[in-house]
Each structure stands twice: as C-alpha cells, then as structure tokens.
Structure 1
Amino acid sequence: MAFFIPEEKIFEIKNAADIVDIISESVLLKKSGRNYVGLCPFHSEKTPSFTVNYEKQIFYCFGCGAGGNVFAYLTKKEGFTFPEAVKYVAGKYGIDIPVEKISPEKHKEISEKDSIFSINKQAMDFFKGCLLNEDNGKKALEYLKKRKISDNTIRDYHLGYAPDGWNVLLNYFAKKNVLTSMLEKAGLIIRKNKSEGFYDRFRNRIIFPIFDVNSQVIGFGGRVMDDSLPKYLNSPETIVFNKSQSLYGLNMARSECRITETVFIVEGYFDLLSLHENGIINSVATLGTAISSEHVKILRAIVGKDGKIILVYDSDDAGIKAAQRSIEIFDKGFADARILVLPSGYDPDSYLVKFGQQAFKNAVLSAQGTVSFLINSAIKKYGLSVEGKIHIVSELKNTLSSIEDNVARALYIRELSEKINIDESALHERVRETLSGITLNKYINKSDSNTISDNPDVAGYDSENSIIENRQRGTRLERQIITMMLQFSEMVPEIIKRDLLSGFTDDILKSIGNAIIDQQTLPEPNLRDAIPVFDNNEKNSIVAFLSIKDEVWDNKSCLELIKQFEYIYKRNKDTSIKKIKQAEETNDEKLLLELLRAKQIQAKNKRNSSLKALGGKTIW
C-alpha cells in the first residue's frame, strides 16, 4: 500500500509520539517494571494483559493478540485509516505534513471523512448563528433560558437553532457550492420520496452538536420546543457517527471521569447539560439508544477497573427496563454499574432545578447495584405473597442466569433467598435449569452458524488458536532471527551479509525482516527505529509480540543462532537437491515440476533479498 505521506515523515511523527500518553487517553495504565499495564480495550478481561512499552513505543495484549505501534493502536481503537492515524498524531505533536499529489480514488477514500467533519463544523456554525440572530433565534433562546441553560453552557456546548423551513440549511450550503450528495452522507438532508430534490432533516429545533473525543463534530441532536413528535431527532448513522459508540458530552466529561473514577449516564441532552450546569461534569448521555457494550468499554477504559458507572433514570419503570437490558452488558464488561432512580415525576434536569446539586449527590448514595436494584424492584412490584414470590423468581431467573461470574451469581442468589425467604438450593436449581436452556441454545446457534469467530467483540480475533498461530508463524529459528533483529539491531549487517532472509519459509516474517533492514538506512537508528511501521494488523501484532518481551542478546549468542539457522537451511537445501535428483531418476515428472517451481521461487526471493540489501525500498 503506497502512502501519500513520505516515509521519512512517518518515522519522524512516530518518534515524536508518546504511546503511553496517547493510550492513556482511553486506557487506565499503571507502571509495572519497565512497562505499563492495563485492561485491554479490545476484549473483556478481569486481569490486565494489555502491555505498553515506552522505550520501544509499542503495545501488545497477551490475551487477544492485538499489538503494534501508536498508529496501529489508533486504527484499531478509533477506526482511523492509517493516514488518518498518522495525521492525528502529527497534529497532536505539532508536526506539519507536506501535501503530495495522490490519485482521485485515494483522495476520495482519505478525504470523505474529513469532508463530513468539515460540513458538520459549518452546519454547527450555521445553527449557532441562527440561535443568536434576533429574528430567527429569539424564541429558541428564550426557551433555553426557561430551561435554566446559561450563556456559558450555550457557548461551551455550541448549542444552536435550526430555523423553521424545508430548505434553509440546504440553500446555505448551495451558496457554498457543497454537493448535496455530501450533505446527504452527513445526514443533514433527506431525499424526497416522490419527487426529485432534498429537504432539511432538522427544522424548528434546538440543536445539540455531538462531538467525538477529539472534539470533532460527528452528528447532531434536535429537540422541539413544544409537544410535537418526535420530541428528539438525531443524525442517522454515517461513516463518522455510530450511536452505539458515541456519547453526548464525553469530550467535556472525560477528564473529570478519569479523576473521579465515576461516570453518570443519563438519557437526554438537557439532563446532561443540567448536570454539567450543577458542577457534575463527570456525566454523559446516550443518544436515543440503550447502553451498549461499546459504551461500557469506552467508559470503563476511562474510569478504570475499580471505577463506577451510575445510570440515572426518571421513573421506576424506565429504571427497571434499563437495568434488565444492561445487566448482561455490564457483567461481560466487568463494570461496577449502579442504578439511581429519581422520585416519580422527576428527570435529572427537573430534579436538579428544584432540589439542587447537594440533594442529587445525597440521592446518589442510595444508588444500588443492577441486580440488587432488580431484586428490590421485583419485591416492590409483586409483594411477598406466595404468588408474588413465584412471579419474583420467574422474573429474575433470566437475570441471574445471565451473570457469568459463578461467585457473583451465587451471592446474588443468596441475597434473593434472604429477602424473599425461599430456600437457596431451590433458587440454584431454577437458575441451573435456565442456564441449561441458555447453553443449549448457544450450542444450537453455534452449530447452525457459519461464523468462525468465538469472540465477536475482538476485531480480527477468531479464537485462541488464531492467536497462537499468529505467534507461531514460520519456524522457531525464523522467529528468533526476527526477534534478534528487533532487539539487537547490531546484528542486522551480519544478516544482510549472510543473506539469511532468503532462507526463510514464511513470507510474512521475511517481509518484516526486510522492513527492519530498511530501517538501517535511517540516520542514527535507535531502538524505536528498529521497529518498522506497517499498515497491516497482522504484521504489527507479530512485531509487537516479538519486541515486547526483553531477551538478553550478545554477539556470541547471536552468531550461534545465525550458524544454527545456516546449518538447517543448508541441510534443507541439500535435501531439496537430493529430491530433485531422485525425481529425475524415477521419471516422476509431477514431483519434479513441483520441486523445480519451489526452487525457482526460492531463487527469486533470494534475488529480491539481495536487491533490498543493496538499498531497495519496500512500500507497505
């Protein structure tokens, strides 16, 4: 893959970056010897297996096999393309990237996200201008003041107003010569059903710009100022906006969430703004969807493994339904989640307006764990009559069965047993029956499924076997040679001199070795420079795995390893020649042809390695 960013500029940006600093934005890292460790953001785990090495500027997860440099992390965590990751790091460290000519196809691929970000930013500025316009925005501004939204909040959260009209925004962008196709991709306009043309998605609504963690506008929410329906309207899913991975206010709340190790989750824009108005900055809002596993992963990475996630709801029914939906998600995300249900008739916004910040903080003290909340709610709903207890057990059996931690499940069963006075063993039996049904369904679904992934939450991770296969590429000696090149670069000239890579059987390891050789052309190569940059997850993971564990190297042991590899290579080569002669003597044309083709490929690889040793460049 050819990049539009010069290779030397990529290495300049990589060497200027601090991978610990960048990963710490989304993962709570703790110092452990020479490394930093934390809970992997790419799969659920209780014990940290995610390791970051500052000196080598790499990360590796010993659980799911994800690994690489700072660019690899950003492409996997944030969904960036490789050029986007390089551009992001460059911007963070104030490095200018020269612009080079690229093909129209490549330009379209790289620039579409940037175009939508730019359009969203312009739309936000347009909506803000409309709100502050005395003619257009007077009614909207009065509405916000009535809702106790301050001027500072209006400014800090870039609130706006979409005027009443079918094509006000459309005409605004038409004057700027912005293509309607791009406005449609950004979700700002909607195609008419029975005629040609488009109309504005947001009309006569308060506008709430939605930002990602990098403070880029990814979408919008709009609320009516009367009883019209729908009350709230959000941008559709786009290439920059995914509701299950986005949280309103996270860009403003992230720092406070990390400091307090606590985050409040509410359901509405005004609820969120009211919390922030009252100094409760460590709060975010979902965007018209239930809490998702992606949300939990994002928040848990910020608040840490011992942090708290508190869901705040405005009625018992809503709280119960939310807890039922989310308990399995929080359990699988190993998150400490609690439910805070406010008195009937109040949402977080109205509660804070009437009772104030301190009353809210006092209410937080009564927040219950999700399962305990469901137990108490079921008891309140059905009572403790015989029929009531039967309903309680029936309602909670699926909830208890969804808890994967056996110890936690047993403790909650004991809590239920004590509260409704039913024998604990009877409850265990009912839960076991439910678990058996769940397990059978999973088995049937897996048997009928064509998917090969055992862990759909981990991108590129099919099973433990695939991780082992990734770590065990090539022969043991080939892996040792690459490890030596990564960790003891003084021996790379010897590798070139002896043309060792031509004897490799694994093409991936050979390409990694050639990339390491390329690094030697850089002026004053250091430990970071020994680790090449790839736009390839598999190569990044292999390199990280071979680099992350420190091994003791010296010239003597390295030369012994090289001699051992040469001996094995020569023996295999002699065996190959012997097989060719035997095939000729027995007139086995099919085998002879296969052996000669293999020899031809080997010779071609050797020539390529020789050219590379003379200064050839690899374009990844």
Structure 2
Amino acid sequence: MSVGRIPEEIIEAVLQQHDIVDTVGKHVHLTKQGKYMKGLCPFHSEKTPSFTVTPERQMFHCYGCGKGGNAIRFRMEIEGLSFPEAVRAMAEEAHIPFEDRAFRPGGSPVSREMEQLLQAHEWSSKLYHFLLKNTEHGKPAMDYLKSRGVSDKAIDTFQIGYAPARWDTLVQFLDKRSFDLSAMEKGGLLSSKQDGTGFVDRFRDRIIFPLHNRSGKVIAFAGRILGEGHPKYLNSPESRLFTKSRTLYNLHQAKTEIRKSRQIVLFEGYGDVISAWEAGVHNGVATMGTALTEGHASMMRTLADEIIVCYDGDNAGQAAALKSIPILEAAGFQIKISLISEGLDPDEFIQKYGAERFRIQVLDGAVSAVKFKLIYLKKNHILLEEDGKVAYIKDALEVIAPLPSPTEREIYLKELSAELQVSFDSLKQECNQFRQAMQKRSSYGDNNAKRWNNVRHKKGKASMPTLLPAYHVAERRLLSFMLQDSEVARYVGDRLGDSFNINDHAAVAAYLYAYYAGGKEPDVSRFISSLQDDRLEQVVTSIAMMDTPEEWTTQELDDCIREIKRVPLQAQIQRKKEEMVSAERAGDFLRAAQIASEIIALERQ
C-alpha cells in the first residue's frame, strides 16, 4: 500500500527519523509544560503561547489558528511544500532511499500534465541560458548584462537566459521533444496565434529570468525586453504552476541564509536581488512585478522574524514601502525600511557606490517602520511655516500615539520635540489626549489592529466559551478513544458504523476502520499521514489533543453512542409532530392519533 503514490514504508520511516520536537524546535522556541511543549505559533502573530507540541503523540496543534498535524505537516506548512516535496526533503535529510513515484506513467493525468509542464520549463530554461552564453543571437543580451555589472558567475547562479527575436524558437524546441503544445500554451510557455492556427513563442527578444518554486523547480519566466518595445517587463501568466501572489524570486536559493539569520531583505525586482547577491547579501527575495500580498507575507514569516524592505528610493518606491508596512505588521514581522538616497534603486546604488556602502548605509542603516512613517509624512509639509509644522505634529502624533510601549512613544516624542523646537511636555500631553480619544473610539477588545488575536469581549465582561451540543461532544469523545485503541474502533464500528451526525466525523471514523483493518497499531501521527486531506487532518489533530483518559468502559462508549443516535430520532420526532399538527388542522383525527402512537414509540427509543 502507498499513500499519495509514496510507499507507506517511506512515510513511516520519515516519521520515525524526524521527532516532532526536533522538527518544530528548529523554528519555534519550546518550553516544557507537563507532558506538553509550548511556544509562540509560527503561523500567526501572538503574544501568549497557544502553540502546543505533544511528544507522546508526535503532533503539534495551535489553539489560536487551528493548524496542526505531524512532523510532515509541519514541514509542509512552514516551508510551503506539497506532501511529496516534504516527504522527499525529510527522507533525504535522514538518508532514507526515496523513489519518487508521483509522476510514473501509471499516475493520474493531472500528475502527468504537471510533470510535463515542469520538465518543459526546466528544458526551456536551459535552452534560453545556452542561447545567451553560446550563440551570436545572445551576444547583444550578454553585452547588456555586462554593462549592468552582471558577472558570468551571477548569470550561471541565476540561470539568466535570452529568448531570440523569432516567433518559433521555443515552439520548435518543444515540438521536437513531443510536448503537447496546447498544454504548453496553458502553462504559459507559448501563445496562441491570433487566427487560432498554431502557437508562437511567448518571449521574444528578451533577457529571461527563470522563476523557481521553493523547491528550486522552474515554474515560470520573467522577461526584460532588450531593445525598445512594450511591455518592458513581461512575466509568465498565472498557471497551475505559477501564482504571483505566492511566488518570491530567489526564495529557493535565499531560504538557507534566511533561516540562519531569521532575516529577509525584500526587494521590488529581480535585478536588485541579483546585484545584492553579488554584493554579499544572500537573504534577498523580490515580488514579481506585483504588489506585496498577505500570501507573500505569510510565506516569508514562516522563515524569518525580521524583514528589511529595500524598495526604490523614488516616490513610487517609497509609497510602495509604506503600503507594505500594515501587511507585514499583520504577519508579525519586526520591520525596517531602507532609505536610498538620490532616488536610486538598490541595483543602481550598488553600481554607483559599491557593495560595502550598500550593506552599511542602506541595510544596516534601515529605520523602524514608525521612523519611516514620520520621515514620509514630513515630506508632505512645509515645516518653515507654522501651519505646516502644526499639521505635521498632528499627523506624527497619529503615528506615535497608538504605540503600546510608553518608552517607545517617549523616544519618538523627544526626537519630534528636538526637531521642531517644540516643548516635549506639550507634545506628551497632546499624545495622551490622542490616546484617550482612541480608547473611547475603541469599544471592542484590546487589540483592534489584529482582531484574530484579540480579547473578544468588552472590558469588564467575561467571554463565555462556545458550548458544543451534547452529540458533538459525544462524537469527539468516541473518536478520541478510537484513535487510542483499535478495540474501541471495532466496538463502535459494530454498533454505530459511520452514523455520525457530523460529516467530517463520519469520514474520520470510516478512515479509522480502514486503517485498523489493515492490521495497523494505534498511532495518531501515522494515521494523519494516511488521510491526505487538510480539513480532516485538522479535525483529527484537534480531537487527538483532547485530554481523554486511556482507560475506558463499555458503559461510557454506550452512553456516547446513545447520545449520537438520539439526534436523528429527535429530528424524526419533530417531523412527526409537525405531521400530526397538519393532520389535526385538516380534521383527520384518525391519522393524527396514528402519528401520536408513532411519536410515543420513537420517544421510547
């Protein structure tokens, strides 16, 4: 038997070799609390630890965001990997022989199509790279790259290539290798002719920058036109392989350094990343011609705690940096913003002033998000005029007042006082007035910027936990016992089967019956790997974290089964009562009496 076409014995070996505490501990600082380990969740921002690891069951679960599972699931979530990618990576780390069966000829059509696309992108990348370095067609592109200070080593490191100014270079290349050209068009490598008679190359007369997923596989391309033309920059369209809002340029190469330093440098374009890499900055990534998204932020947050936003020094770049702050704050980053003089972009700054000055002045000299906001606001006011100074103070206080730390507020107020020659005491008084007004407007909780991490009640009123219906509690308790003991599963299977009232619970029960029928011993982590369903994994993880005693009695099981069976009977009784009322209104008293007898029989059950 295999799970997702990966042999089950490999999955079991991976789970045996990767202890959950060691796996999670590389990313989360865990402290022991009884039989559990606790820490701050790496998947959402929180101040009070709700992230729990259970060594005994080899599982993790966050009571804040609901994520949970075994060591494989953690690697999937923390690194954005698919199940096969996570298993392969973990197998290689543990020196477990791994045969990837995911895309064998017997695999599903979807898998074969994906593999064909990945292979076509890989070969296309090699073709473009060869054409740049070894042909006359690529010489102008090579000359341009050299004029921009891109070295041969960087060209090889980033596999930069060139697409000739012809319509069918890639079409012929792929056709000769028996690729389905219509599938290649859907995958973004080709474009359809306007008359619908065939296909043409999507990229022509462009310097080509391959885009990779986190595992290092080419999934798309970005092309910069060599001469005059529009558009100047062209990306692959979104496809089954490529989603702009979830792709970061160079993440596959930068993630090792990012994990070491827990810091990311975020650029706007691939040229900046490449120049910075040559300048010794190996933790740089870039969004691909799109604004920063929550998806980008959450992906980066799994790898790093601090981020330096290093956008262009012109007005557009600084405005984009300002827009990025709330997105990065919501993800829980410590944020710094680089200030680049003369309106230069990072690439231009490095070419003009060199690598060392870039690292010291631009990266080491990056300012806090609050400081950047104040600098940005200042540009909108004429401080030599009294009205401009007053307006700037008002805007600045709106930035400073919400800061939770009194010390932090005082530091910025003192800087503002010295800069504008205004009394510190008057600024502090006005700041306090701002805070009082904010608190009056804030009628809900204590963390309005992050409602998911909020005290969900007004001050002075205790929040009541949501009470689950009795049958829901009974179903969870039964499943919890079933996860611990195959004998319970057999007992429940004989008396209840899949007649759970909640669909997810019925599905979990069905999987458990099949799991034990295969002769397996109780093992929650192993069972979770057999599910291959994100929602059911979350359900099982939540149930497995319940404090259910290991000992059980048939009386307790019967009580739960009775409570579960009661629900459909109650629904049936309610329907019968409605039928009886209808019969009475219609004057059919004989029928009403029959229904009443049926109701009594149901109530006895």
With the shorter chain as reference, the TM-score category is 0.7 to 0.9
**1:589 pairs with one of 566, 570, 595:** 595
1:545 counterpart = 2:542? yes
Q: Corresponding residue for 2:447?
A: none
Whole-angstrom distance in 1 between the partners of 2:394 and 2:198: 54
Q: CA deviation at 1:192?
A: 3.8
Structure 2 CA distance for partners of 1:572 and 1:534, relative to 1, 3 Å: closer
Instruction: Work out whether residues 140 and 206 of structure 1, in 8 Å CA contact, stay in contact via their aligned partners in 2.
Output: yes
Q: Which residue of 2 aligns with 1:280?
A: 281
Counterpart amino acid of residue 558 in structure 1: W
Residue 565 of structure 1 aligns with which residue?
A: 557
User: Structure 1: how far apart are the matches of 2:113 and 2:443?
Assistant: 44
Confirm or deny that 1:389 pairs with 2:389: yes
Q: C-alpha distance in 2, partners of 1:435/1:330? A: 24
TM-score normalised by the chain length of structure 1:
0.75
User: Cα offset for 1:321?
Assistant: 0.2
What is the CA deviation profile of residues 385-431 of structure 1, one whole-angstrom value per residue up to 9, with x for unaligned ones? 22323553676688679x79697996798478645547456567679
1:18 alignment partner in structure 2: 18
CA distance in 2, matches of 1:184, 1:266: 30
Shift of residue 375 of structure 1? Answer: 0.8
The unaligned stretches of length 5 or more in structure 2 are 445-450, 453-462, 581-589
- Which string of whole-angstrom CA distances, capped at 9 and with x for unpartnered residues, describes residues 505-534 of structure 1? 555435434433443345563635663432
Residue in 2 that maps onto 1:96: 99
Does 1:358 find its partner at 2:350? no
1:218 is matched with: 219
Classify 1:357/1:100 alpha carbon distance in 2 versus 1 (closer, same or farther; 3 Å).
Answer: closer
CA shift in 2, pair 1:163/1:431, >3 Å: farther
> Structure 2 vs 1, CA of residues 586 and 267 (structure 1 numbering), >3 Å: closer, same or farther?
closer
**Alignment correspondent of 1:376:** 375
* Cα pair 2:129 2:160 within 8 Å, conserved: yes
Deviations 1:56-80 (A, max 9, x none): 3433221122333456557767777
Classify the secondary structure of the residue corresponding to 2:555.
helix
- Of the three residues 454, 467, 479, the one matched with 1:482 is 479
Greater relative contact order, per chain length (Cα 8 Å cut-off, separation 6+): 1
Residue equivalent to 1:5 = 5
Residue in structure 1 matching 2:327, options 314, 326, 329: 329
Residues 247 and 20 from structure 1, CA distance in 2 versus in 1: closer, same or farther, beyond 3 angstroms?
farther
Question: Structure 1's 590 and 295: CA in aligned 2 closer, same or farther, altered over 3 A?
Answer: farther
Contact 2:193/2:199, CA 8 A, preserved across alignment: yes
- Cα displacement (A) at 1:328: 1.4
Query: Which residue pairs with 1:535 in the alignment?
Result: 532
Q: Does the 8 Å contact 2:160/2:209 carry over to 1?
A: yes
The Cα of 1:310 is off from its aligned counterpart by: 0.6
Q: Figure out how many residues of one structure are paired with residues of the other and give that number.
A: 562
* Residues 398 and 434, structure 2, Cα contact 8 Å, conserved in 1: no
Compute the displacement of 1:572 (Å).
Answer: 9.0
Post-superposition shift, 1:302?
Answer: 0.8
> What is the deviation of 1:231?
2.8
CA distance in structure 2 between the aligned counterparts of 1:12 and 1:195, rounded to whole angstroms: 50
Structure 1 SS opposite 2:237: coil
Other-structure match for 1:450 = none
Following TM superposition, by how much is the alpha carbon of 1:168 offset from its aligned partner in structure 2, in angstroms? 1.6
Residue of structure 2 aligned with 1:525, choices 496, 521, 525? 521
3-state SS of paired residue (1:207): strand
How far, CA to CA, are the matches of 1:14 and 1:474 in structure 2?
37
For 1:247 and 1:100, locate their aligned partners in 2 and report how far apart those are by CA, in whole Å.
26
2:302 is paired with a residue of what secondary structure? helix
User: SS at 1:354's partner residue?
Assistant: helix
CA RMSD of aligned residues (A): 4.7
Letter in 1 for 2:184: L
CA distance in 2, matches of 1:220, 1:232: 11
Question: CA 1:351/1:54 → structure 2, altered by over 3 Å: closer, same or farther?
Answer: farther
Name the CA distance, whole Å, in 2 between partners of 1:47 and 1:31.
13
Q: Indicate the percent of aligned positions where both proteins have the same amino acid.
A: 27
Check the 8 A contact 1:400/1:412 in 2, yes or no.
no
Partner secondary structure for residue 191 of structure 2: strand
Asked if 1:258 corresponds to 2:279, the answer is no
Q: 1:411 to 1:505 in 2, by over 3 A?
A: farther
CA shift for structure 1 position 217: 0.9
The superposition leaves residues 262-321 of structure 1 with CA deviations (integer Å, 9 ceiling, x where unpaired) of 2111122121111111221011112112222222222222113xxx21111332423430
Offset at 1:354? 3.4
CA distance in 2, matches of 1:185, 1:383: 53
Report the Cα distance in structure 2 between the residues aligned to 1:485 and 1:109, rounded to whole angstroms: 35
Cα pair distance change 1:411/1:54, threshold 3 Å: farther
Once the two structures are TM-superposed, the CA of residue 4 in structure 1 deviates from its matched residue by: 6.4
In 1, the alpha carbon distance for the partners of 2:212 and 2:81 equals 16
Which secondary structure does the structure 1 equivalent of 2:108 belong to? helix
SS class of match (2:99): coil
Which consecutive unaligned segments of at least 5 residues does structure 1 have? 441-453, 456-464, 600-620
- 1:327 positional shift: 2.0
Within 2, Cα distance between the matches of 1:350 and 1:122? 32
Q: Which amino acid aligns with 2:478?
A: I
TM-score by length of structure 2 reads: 0.76
Deviation at 1:175? 1.9
Show the counterpart of 1:231.
232
| CA distance in 2: counterparts of 1:333 and 1:287, whole angstroms | 20
Q: 1: CA distance between counterparts of 2:230 and 2:57?
A: 55
Q: 1:37 to 1:573 in 2, by over 3 A?
A: closer
What is the identity, as a one-letter code, of the residue corresponding to 1:311? V
Q: Deviations along 1:217-252, whole A, 9 cap, x unmatched?
A: 121111233454433221121122122221111111
Cα separation, partners in 2 of 1:365 and 1:591, compared to 1, 3 Å: farther
Partners of 1:50 and 1:62 within 8 A in 2: yes
Between the aligned partners of 1:82 and 1:76, the Cα distance in structure 2 is 10
Cα distance between partner residues in 1 of 2:112 and 2:194: 29
Distance 1:314 1:268 in 2: 10
Change in 2 beyond 3 A, CA 1:169/1:96? same
Which whole-Å CA distance do the structure 2 matches of 1:107 and 1:572 have between them?
39
1-structure distance, mates of 2:261, 2:21: 19
Kindly provide the amino acid, as one letter, of the partner of residue 273 in structure 1: I
Aligned partners of 1:275 and 1:349 also within 8 Å: yes
For residues 88 and 382 of structure 1, the distance between their equivalents in structure 2, rounded to whole angstroms, comes to 54
Q: Equivalent residue of 1:221, what SS? A: strand
- Please say if residues 28 and 39 of structure 1, whose CA atoms lie closer than 8 Å, have aligned partners that are also in contact: no
Instruction: Verify the 8 A CA contact 1:162 1:205 in the aligned structure 2.
Output: yes
Q: Does 1:509 align with 2:505?
A: yes
